[in-house]
Amino acid sequence: MIRPSARGSDRGQLVVLAAAVVAVALVAMVAAYLQVAGATGAAGPAVADRGDPIERVHGAVRPAVYNASLAATGTGWGNRDTAATRVSNRLDPALDRIEDGTLADGRSVSLDRNDTLAAVWADERCPSGPNRQFGSCESIDGLVLQARGGEATLVAVALDVRVIAPGDRRTVGVVVTVP
């Protein structure tokens, strides 16, 4: 007759103990995530509840612009129209989500890219002359792209931010830069 060793039953208990520890850790991680998601508004519209509505929208647009800028990575300056299309394909759905969310005070938001503002920003802010660190800039449909290391790099997005409430309508041109 073969007897199970004491080590075999200890191993089973160790596996059960490890599973219990993992389960407790997982519950703690889920609870922490839900607290953070609620604090940052990840569960709803990405527009904070306090402050000037234009600034709240501007703050919500910043991460969308940064994420969209990554779509241009690796695209040569000669293909900057392709880079602009890739950025637009990533940025537009994010802007739509921000528009779909209503500000906490019942106001609605409309976002439109502003190519005129982008061109002015590019003319005033992109360096020129023989000692500049990066290449020239070009605005394409409200996006400001700059030649950096031979690649098209998104450096800014110009938008008309329109906040609408009963009896009140405000439109402000803003430029969101990429950090």
Question: For 3-15, how does the pLDDT look when each residue is reduced to its tens digit (9 = 90+)?
Answer: 555 555 677 777 7
Whether pLDDT at 138 is above 60: yes
- Average confidence score pLDDT of the chain: 80
Enumerate long-range contacts of 90-99, CB under 8 Å, 24 or more apart: 91/64, 91/65, 91/157, 94/64, 94/67, 94/68, 95/61, 95/64, 95/159, 97/45, 97/46, 98/45, 98/46, 98/47, 98/57, 98/60, 98/61, 98/64
At 5 the pLDDT is: 55
At 26 the pLDDT is: 58
- pLDDT band (50, 70, 90) for residue 120: very high
Asked if 153 and 130 touch (Cβ cutoff 8 Å), the reply is no
Question: For 47-87, how does the pLDDT look when each residue is reduced to its tens digit (9 = 90+)?
Answer: 444 567 888 888 899 999 999 999 999 999 999 999 999 99
At 11 the pLDDT is: 72
Name the 3-class secondary structure at 3: coil
